[in-house]
Amino acid sequence: MPYRGLRDFMEDLEARGQLIELDESLSLDLELPAVLRRVTYAGGPAVLFKSIKEGTLPAVGNLFGSWNRVSLALGDDDPYGRVASSLGALTARPPSGLLDAVRSLGELSQVTKVAPKVVRSGPVRDVGWEKVDLGRLPAIRQWPGEPGRFFTMAVTFVKGNDGSLNFGYYRLQVIGEDRLIMHWMPWRRGAAYGEAGRGVAIVFGPDPITMLMAGVPVPRPLDKSLVTGIVRGEGMELVRGDAVDVEYPAHSELVIEGELTGETAMEGPFGDHAGVYSTSKPYPVVKVKAINSRRDPVLPVTVTGRPVLEDGNIIRFGERVALALTQQLLPEVVDLHMPPEGLGYVTIVSIAKRYPGHAKRIAAALWAFSPLYHKFVIVVDSDVNPRDRTSVEYAVAANVDPERDIHVMEGYPTEELDPSTPTPGFGSKACIDATRKLPDEYGGAEYPGDLVAPREIEEMAKRISDSIVRGSA
């Protein structure tokens, strides 16, 4: 059974010695973030900050700062297997016979199990706040160049024009007791719904899998809440908003219900995950209409800076979901890896190559799926493990002719947080084709073969070398 909410997850972490409560009082201004960064870099536990100098609600951080805690959130299951095995049930097709019809009923039952469910109420609605006051919530100021305090781990839920529910992490700058700036970059799926009057639900502390999935882009037309249910193994329990027409997880710690005003305000600069300040720009303003919470809510926070921090493990989780989604459209993709230190900008993908230009096509498809990521796409053959740095570097060194195999796509959307581009959100992509070349890619000649010894020679050599190594140990 998946965790129903953050509270259940925290209790389990504490029982396992993976969550500690800090007695010392810290300020949300620079102090708490600095402590949290050091704990995360050191591979330390999750930390509950109950004593905050500003007198706000408690905060908890470094929840996903170790892969062991991510695995615990997942029930020690690989999200790739769940998503890959279940996505076929989402493909509508008429049954071809009685047996196929029966199988389709089973698939329908599976979809029903993982689909989101709207319930009448939940712990997040235990307390309706009489007065809206964002100053009571632990928004943090991480770096001295930031102009104010930000919510860094709030999950924003928004409903599309087609009724689909989308959610993700969008940082929020507090500019008043009832006003926020929503950092919605243009290519984010949620930003497409950014007109005035649109309701949003800003959620703190849903269940840990929903928190992880908030950092994973899911391409249209897939419903992100349904994919999240697949990863959880059961559907999300949602409640409808009081003041906005948006559903959100019933077992969350706290929710801010708000509405886009149609105004914009200058947001940032913000010390971001690339280790530099992101540019200050105008973004949409949200006016808070209501706040609901548990009776004793705890709000998650995360910190940013040079990698690898907590977001590195969210990237690692996301690549497994992304692989399953990608293989539905590109079955020739064997594996995919986004190194956490690469900020989501570096993607290594292995493919079963079949034709000239195949690597370039795969890179173009990844850019189309998710323009914010995959600045560098390195394509290798199916026998190369994308997570084995030695094998990848060898493939690049041995198979890449820079003039022929490095393809640059100019004038392409990028992530606005990427400091390498002078115009935020607009730059270029590069594909590095590190596959072995087919004759049509190699001047009509056969590509040089790999060095391979006869099998019986390798077996003999292994037997003797193993005995030598054991004897010298």
- In the chain, the domains with their CATH numbers are 6-301 (2.30.110.10), 330-441 (3.40.1670.10)
The secondary structure element, H or E, covering residue 151 is strand 150-151
| Residue 309 main-chain phi, psi, to 5 deg | -115, -160
Q: Which residues contact 71 (CB under 8 A, 6 or more apart)?
A: none
**pLDDT of amino acid 418:** 86
Q: What is the spatial distance between Cα 146 and Cα 125, in angstroms, rounded to a whole number? A: 33
Q: Which residue has the tokens 């919470």?
A: 293
Q: What is the spatial distance between Cα 6 and Cα 17, in angstroms, rounded to a whole number? A: 16
Identify the burial level of 281 via C-beta atoms within 10 angstroms of its C-beta, where 0-12 means exposed, 13-18 middle and 19 or more buried.
middle
DSSP-assigned beta bridge partners for residue 204: 254
**pLDDT of amino acid 325:** 87
Give 350-382 as a 3 state SS string. EECCCCCCHHHHHHHHHHHHCCCCCCEEEEEEC
The gap from C-alpha 295 to its chain's centroid, in whole angstroms, comes to 29
Q: What is the spatial distance between Cα 297 and Cα 424, in angstroms, rounded to a whole number? A: 37
Q: What is the spatial distance between Cα 380 and Cα 398, in angstroms, rounded to a whole number? A: 11
**pLDDT of amino acid 358:** 97
Q: What is the spatial distance between Cα 66 and Cα 53, in angstroms, rounded to a whole number? A: 28
Q: What is the spatial distance between Cα 241 and Cα 201, in angstroms, rounded to a whole number? A: 8
DSSP assignment string, 120-140 = S--GGGSEE-SS--GGGS--B
Q: What is the spatial distance between Cα 155 and Cα 182, in angstroms, rounded to a whole number? A: 11
Q: How far is CA 131 from CA 127, 149, 393, in A?
A: 11, 20, 58
Q: Which residues contact 250 (CB under 8 A, 6 or more apart)?
A: 119, 121, 122, 123, 124, 125, 237, 238, 239
Query: From first to last of its 473 residues, what are the pLDDT tens digits of the chain?
Result: 789 999 999 999 999 999 999 999 999 999 999 999 999 999 999 999 999 999 999 999 999 999 999 999 998 777 777 777 666 555 444 444 444 444 444 555 667 888 899 999 999 999 999 999 999 999 999 999 999 999 999 999 998 877 888 999 999 999 999 999 999 876 555 555 567 789 999 999 999 999 999 999 887 777 889 889 989 989 999 999 999 999 999 999 999 999 999 999 999 999 998 889 998 999 999 999 999 999 999 999 999 999 999 999 999 999 998 898 889 889 999 999 999 999 889 999 999 999 999 999 999 999 988 888 899 999 999 999 999 999 999 999 999 999 999 999 999 988 888 888 888 889 999 999 999 999 999 999 999 999 999 999 999 999 999 999 998 75
DSSP-assigned beta bridge partners for residue 169: 155
Specify the pairing of strand 46-49 against strand 277-278: unpaired
Q: What is the spatial distance between Cα 408 and Cα 195, in angstroms, rounded to a whole number? A: 34
Please report, to the nearest 10 degrees, the dihedral formed by the alpha carbons of residues 359, 361, 362, 367 taken in order.
Answer: 130
Q: How far is CA 283 from CA 102, 162, 268, 279, 373, in A?
A: 50, 24, 10, 12, 21
Token output for 139: 């928004």
Q: What is the spatial distance between Cα 254 and Cα 59, in angstroms, rounded to a whole number? A: 12
**pLDDT of amino acid 388:** 97
**pLDDT of amino acid 266:** 96
CB 185 within 8 A of CB 191: yes
What Rg, from alpha-carbon coordinates, does the chain have? 24
Q: Which residues are catalytic?
A: 272
Specify the pairing of strand 237-240 against strand 247-249: antiparallel
| Residue 202 main-chain phi, psi, to 5 deg | -100, 110
Query: What pTM value is reported for the model?
Result: 0.89
Provide the 3-class DSSP secondary structure of residue 439.
Answer: helix
Q: What is the spatial distance between Cα 405 and Cα 399, in angstroms, rounded to a whole number? A: 9
